[in-house]
Copies of this chain bind each other. A is one copy, B any other.
Amino acid sequence: MRIAIGQMNPVVADFNINIKKVIYFVEEAIKEECDLIIFPELTLCGYIPEDLILQGDFSKRTEQSLKIIESLSRDIAIVCGYAKKNYGKGKPFFNTVGFFSDGMLRVEYRKRLLPNYDVFNEKRYFEEGDKPRVIEANGVRFGITVCEDGWNTEFSPAYGLYSIDPVEETVQSGCDILLNIAASPFYYKKVFLRETMFSNIAKKYSIPLIFVNQAGGIDGIVFDGDSCVFDRDGRIIKKAKRFEEDFVVWDVNNEKGKIFPVKSDDNELIFNALVTGLKDFIEKIGAKRVHLGLSGGIDSALVSVIARYALGSENVCGIMLPSPYSSRSSIEDSLLLADNLGIKVERIDISHYFEVLKNELPVSIGDLKDITEQNLQARLRGMILMAYSNNNNSILLNTGNKSELAVGYATIYGDMCGAIAVIGDVYKTKVYSLARWINKKYGKLIPESILVKSPSAELKPGQTDQDTLPPYDVLDGILERYIEKGMSIEEIIGDTGFEKETVKKVLNMVQRSEFKRKQAPPVIKVTSKAFVTGFRFPISSNFQGVKNEDA
């Protein structure tokens, strides 16, 4: 028996494009003489259309696609996913996997464990299924599980979140091969963890396991693909590409596993995830060209490199927007960077505009405060970058990092402008390590002087980030423990030995700046908890004992 994996990169809620992709993969599988092809979770609508799923003609469009799948299944058996209307009590849909053969829908399985944490919100749309399902093709029995269904075994970090274990029940109901049909979002510590987990499941039950994952990015969420076939000893037989759409064939009788899960380099994983997230976002909104403000700092340098690898240097424009406080080296470093990357570079001096505003505004709104002047510069830049956007049909990239976004060290409607926050889930210390990894891997793209200078917003003379913030290793140490690990002030102090005043100051900044994050662009997720999708709280709350003092 030959089994194909169609590791698809769907456009969410675009039934036309998605069914075309299915047809393409089915034709490939037939050419390769496969008996069965397996697609990822919610194949027909992509993961996940959010509230569009509740709109009137969503079901009709699903039904239309299912007719096509039925007709395709005359030539090959097909396993694919879709949102099926629930006509009974409970939520409006089931997260469904259908098995199609000989031109007909044969069996439907309903996902049983519905994740509702971090980026997941499945209980908003779906009702749980209540039993395991085994399908039979070519005399082989396949047990179906869908994504989260596989995450309540003893090998999972989420173990204990649910009271049933669909893997156990499915295997007990009798099958020869176990399937996990998934749309499993990426974060960099997850790739090895997931592979090891499935390897252990295969080994425990001594059963081959096929994991079929969605690939590509949807807004800030990246699906890393990495579809895998494990043999009954938990060794990897076949592996699809990481991050990209891919097609893989496994001949059940002729191939044995060789490789055990191997840990990948964190920097490489993160860099490729960011490239994928950006590339797919720009493509899926139907755009091509992007631009960004080049400050001469490390953040915009890193985003330039990501953009160049995501979209090609011909589609990236760096715009230098020097003010009276910009250092000469900022310009020189930016020019050198742009030259290294082969991207276009523009220079628009904001000094004159800033002077005009600074000199004329006080009449009406009082003498300008320091913070007002600093924000004015950032917002002038934002305004010019958006004018460039309007005028050149180009998408503005946001270059803020996670440390800044966490403490609100950014100007709303200023440097927080942009269609997507490319490195909004990358801590500043990680920004440096990514930059060094890039220079090692791709040659010295990022000028050394950018790597060694003190980080500065350059909004007043001699300013550095550390005038306002603790050193970045301390800051990030606090932030990661608070955001990703949910630690309290006391736990952070106990874990690090940092001073209480520093920890409190940082957490107060996090608390006070939620209003900025509520208006932040989508963030490409690379850690286990990203802002916007994974960590949200009310603005008018007061957990850490402070109030917002400015807006």
For A13, give its contact among B357, B519, B537 (CB under 8 Å).
B537
Q: 5 interchain pairs (CB within 8 A)?
A: A49-B537, A90-B160, A116-B124, A284-B542, A365-B388
What are the interface flags for A260-289 relative to B under an 8 Å C-beta threshold, 1 for contact and 0 otherwise?
A: 000000000000000000001100111100
Query: How far is B365's CA from A455's CA once the two chains are assembled, in angstroms?
Result: 29
Q: Which of B369, B393, B541, B545 contacts A390 (CB 8 A)?
A: B369
Candidates B123, B162, B538, B547; contact of A12 at CB < 8 Å: B538
Contact A219 B14 (CB under 8 A): no
**Residues in chain A within 8 A of chain B (CB atoms):** 11-14, 16-17, 46, 48-52, 54-58, 60, 89-91, 116-117, 121, 123-124, 160-163, 217-219, 280-281, 284-287, 346-348, 352-353, 356-357, 360-361, 364-369, 371-372, 375-376, 379-380, 382-384, 386-393, 395-396, 412-413, 417, 419, 482, 486-491, 515, 518-522, 534-543, 545, 547-551
Whether A353 contacts B357 in the complex (CB less than 8 A), given A540-B285, A541-B14, comes out as yes
| In the complex with contacts A488-B55, A491-B56, A347-B364 CB distance below 8 A | yes
**Which residue of chain B has its CB nearest to the CB of A355?**
B356
Contact B361 A285, beta carbon cutoff 8 Å: no
In the assembled complex, the Cα of A60 lies from the Cα of B48 at a distance in Å of: 36
How many copies of this protein are present in the complex?
2
Which 4 pairs across A and B sit closest by C-beta, in order of nearness?
A286-B547, A56-B488, A284-B540, A57-B488
| Residue contact A50 to B537, C-beta cutoff 8 Å | yes
User: Which residues of the other chain, B, contact A392 by a CB distance below 8 angstroms?
Assistant: 365-366
A50 nearest in chain B by CB position: B537
| A540 x B116 contact (CB < 8 A) | no
Q: Which residues of the other chain, B, contact A372 by a CB distance below 8 angstroms?
A: 387, 390-391
Instruction: Tell me the bound Cα distance from A55 to B90 in angstroms.
Output: 31
Which residues of chain B come closer than 8 Å to A14, judged between CB atoms? Answer: 541-543
Interface centre among A161, A389, A390 (most CB of B within 10 A): A390
B55 and A486 form a contact (CB under 8 A): yes
Q: Which chain B residues border A218 with CB–CB below 8 Å?
A: 538, 540-541
**Contact status of A90 and B161, CB under 8 A, knowing A352-B360, A383-B380, A540-B219:** yes
Contact, CB under 8 Å: B11 / A280: no
